[in-house]
Chain A
């Protein structure tokens, strides 16, 4: 086989998989739902029979002739979605010639008292009136599902296959027409996926509706036969097990979808008498189908992906092919991890931000951009974002200091090396420990900082400061000072690291440049201004940008040092997000704030890059 034929075959196999797998998946879901419908109808019928059939006078089960009549009437009801068979113990009542139930199966029903699948029908136990003993069984067989796909899905399928075949035919032809065909192929795959998803959703909707209307039919039958139940609708609850009964107004005859306390519910009204209604509410099956869209789209995408790979490998040289395969092998661990733990969560965060979402509440309604509007209208949010930017202002200060120190401590002497090592210590130590130490040092009465300040204030100059009101400072307890106190600690922790970065940057500048400037008669300041600084600019940019990115995300320091206080004086963005998510348990609101912080970070970074770029132009 030639390479071209091999490529085409591979693409065709991918096409076959991309059509058959979504079809199979959809079929399986629908079969599962049909079975679920049969199970619910079977237990509804068992509940119905228990209400309407009188017990035998002799005791021990239902009155057999009555049960026979009721069973046949039930099976003959028009509009039911399943075929019923009712067994009195093991004897079939509806179709007298049908095979009896196996005694072992009845025994099992008696032991487990649960609905089970026999291979072709759902079997529900028929309990006696008191619910004590299993006296028979109700079998419900799903009716043939009709067409396996809806007409529009079939049309989409044809379109998809046609586009696929066209793309495969174009493969290996000079001029690479397959690249154009691929776009159509991908679009057709998307269409097919969406159509299959619509099928699945509709099947779920249909199964829910059918069950609710079957349950309503049986409840109405029960009320017609046993009029006392009209006065006590709760006694009808066994017919609609799994649905909720609630008093209601008339709703019309159909099954509708309605918002009940923030949750979508399928609702149908049952008339008890003139002006008296109850409604049955159930969680619709289609409510949980959203993941299926991803599944069917992913399966349908196999076709175009296969064609893309086959087409590319036909066009590529063997060496290119080998390297690409190897590269993706090497990338696989990190790429899969990023998809699962970064891209996925990112998308989910966006999803959360447009929902009201709390882990302790079942209702998670879509609220659209209302969360954003609320956050942007909240002055406290603006204050937190502004405070975050204000806090980040320590970064330029510490960068300037670090640069000065790096220039000062350039030498290779023991002293300079020791100093550099000591300066770096805060960068490697635990943030929580640092915060604890500084909290202790900041104590107003016994802390080291005020103690030293006190010594300083003993001098005449200090007494001047005391008069200006700078006596005993309550560093982390005074709302006016707390943020500055946190910034001081941040400078202390960051200084050594930033200095080390500048040191490395300075080391990488060739001595020859500086020497040349010196020969030209430039003084120390000119050498720094004209040679070192421009060469160091990328490093400065790096330290500034990463420093501000980090500063805007400060959390541990604030959490331990000040706890966001006093009076929210240090309530920075991330701390606020933390409290929204883990103290108020508002995951949706927290995601909104996180997205806003992300936007702020992007804007801040862009602004810095722009600003510094312009300065490069002027220089």
Chain B
């Protein structure tokens, strides 16, 4: 059963390496070189990396502060505001796509990194995740700091942040993986080949080399490998993210 889950990946790598005819004798690494030369993959890689790292950092930043406010501070209308935040999760992404595209076009940001990144900088599910985490850690230390006259910002920076390294890493890793996979918004927000992310790039390659399967599998492998590596390295953060959501 587990083999069934992995088989498509093995088949992908096999096709990329061995070519289409299943002659298992010769390996063709040149398939990779040729496929990767067929499009500016270096550029796609760089774009994907810039996009997902910037968004992940931004989401960690905005989510930490917002989650802290929702988890720890009392202010009028807190629960109502939190419900409003959560209701954003119900909105289908596609509903916002056209207006967001018009918005970044009006700002002159169409087909730029600003345009690509700016709309994604807040993640409500990230806020929810970190709020769960903050609710779970004891507040004794914070209260002690408050008693000693520390302001909220100091408490946040000196007491809360140092304890929440693992949670921030979890959110960062999840956001990174999420954005690396992101396809729809980059497809809409960018138009030139110079700005395309990997996902959009290989989807376009698919259009250009429709029946050249080894090429396509080589490109697919190139897109999958970074995430496999991330998953290998940061396996426990993926699982922690799931635990926090349940």
Contact = CB atoms under 8 A, between A and B. Distances in A.
A61 to B, nearest CB: 46
A382 interface: no
Interface string A540-575: 001000000100110110011000000000000010
Contacts of A602: 90
Contacts of B75: 320, 323-324, 327-328
Interface string B103-124: 1000000000000001101101
Interface string A487-509: 00000100111001100110110
Contacts of A500: 238-239, 242
B94 A352 contact: no
Contact of A334 (B97, B100, B122, B180): B122
B220 A320 contact: no
Contacts of A587: 98, 102
Given A437-B220, A559-B203, A423 B99 contact: no
B122 A345 contact: no
B152 interface: yes
Contacts of B228: 425, 428-429
21 contacts: A320-B75, A324-B73, A327-B73, A327-B74, A328-B75, A330-B66, A405-B1, A428-B231, A429-B181, A429-B223, A431-B199, A433-B12, A433-B219, A436-B216, A436-B219, A437-B12, A438-B8, A500-B242, A501-B246, A559-B183, A598-B95
A422 B6 CA distance: 7
Given A345-B103, A430-B227, A602-B90, A504 B243 contact: yes
A499 to B, nearest CB: 10
A337 interface: yes
Interface string B202-239: 11001000000100110111011001101100010011
A1 B198 CA distance: 63
A231 B8 CA distance: 79
A333 B65 contact: yes
Contact of A320 (B63, B74, B102, B223): B74
A437 B122 contact: no
B96 A342 contact: yes
Contacts of B122: 333-334, 337-338, 341
A531 B76 CA distance: 40
A91 interface: no
B62 A433 contact: no
A333 B220 contact: no
Nearest to B231: A428
B92 interface: yes
A507 B239 CA distance: 12
Contact of B91 (A422, A497, A598): A598
A492 B5 contact: yes
A326 interface: yes
A87 B42 CA distance: 66
B11 A437 contact: yes
A424 interface: yes
Interface centre among B7, B76, B199, B246 (most CB of A within 10 A): B246
A66 B121 CA distance: 69
B94 A433 contact: no
A578 interface: yes
A328 B94 CA distance: 29
A505 B1 CA distance: 22
Given A324-B75, A556-B183, A605 B90 contact: yes
Interface centre among B5, B20, B98 (most CB of A within 10 A): B98
Given A327-B69, A337-B62, A505-B246, A598 B92 contact: yes
A326 B95 contact: no
B61 A436 contact: no
Contacts of B5: 422-423, 425-426, 492, 495-496
Interface centre among B9, B95, B184 (most CB of A within 10 A): B95
B127 interface: yes
A556 B95 contact: no
Given A448-B11, A555-B94, A574-B94, 14 more contacts: A322-B152, A323-B73, A323-B75, A323-B152, A326-B69, A326-B153, A338-B124, A346-B91, A423-B2, A434-B8, A436-B217, A556-B199, A578-B94, A594-B98
Interface of B: 1-2, 5-9, 11-12, 15, 20, 61-63, 65-66, 68-69, 73-76, 78, 81, 85, 88, 90-100, 102-103, 118-119, 121-122, 124, 127, 151-153, 156, 177, 180-181, 183-184, 188, 198-200, 202-203, 206, 213, 216-217, 219-221, 223-224, 227-228, 230-231, 235, 238-239, 242-243, 245-246
Q: Helix, strand, loop or mixed for chain B's interface?
A: helix
Given A425-B228, A430-B223, A436 B206 contact: yes
Contact of A501 (B6, B88, B95, B242): B242
B93 to A, nearest CB: 6
B62 A333 contact: yes
B119 A341 contact: yes
Given A425-B5, A436-B216, A330 B242 contact: no
Contacts of B90: 549, 598, 601-602, 605
Contacts of B227: 428-430
Nearest to B89: A549
A213 interface: no
B159 to A, nearest CB: 14
A492 B5 CA distance: 7
Nearest to B77: A324
A555 B184 contact: yes
Interface centre among A340, A341, A419, A578 (most CB of B within 10 A): A341
B8 to A, nearest CB: 5
Interface in A418-451: 418-419, 421-426, 428-434, 436-441, 443, 446, 448
Nearest to A345: B99
B194 to A, nearest CB: 19
A456 to B, nearest CB: 13
A322 B73 CA distance: 10
A419 B65 CA distance: 37
Contacts of A594: 92, 94-95, 97-98
A277 interface: no
A595 interface: yes
A419 B183 CA distance: 28
A581 interface: yes
Contact of B199 (A320, A333, A432, A595): A432
A163 interface: no
Contacts of B242: 497, 500-501, 504
Nearest to A557: B183
Nearest to A539: B246
Contact of A581 (B98, B124, B221): B98
A360 to B, nearest CB: 13
A431 B213 contact: no
B99 A348 contact: yes
A337 B235 CA distance: 31
Contacts of B188: 582
Interface in A311-337: 312, 320, 322-324, 326-331, 333-335, 337
A590 interface: yes
A496 B8 CA distance: 14
Interface centre among A333, A429, A433 (most CB of B within 10 A): A433
A70 B242 CA distance: 85
Contacts of B230: 428
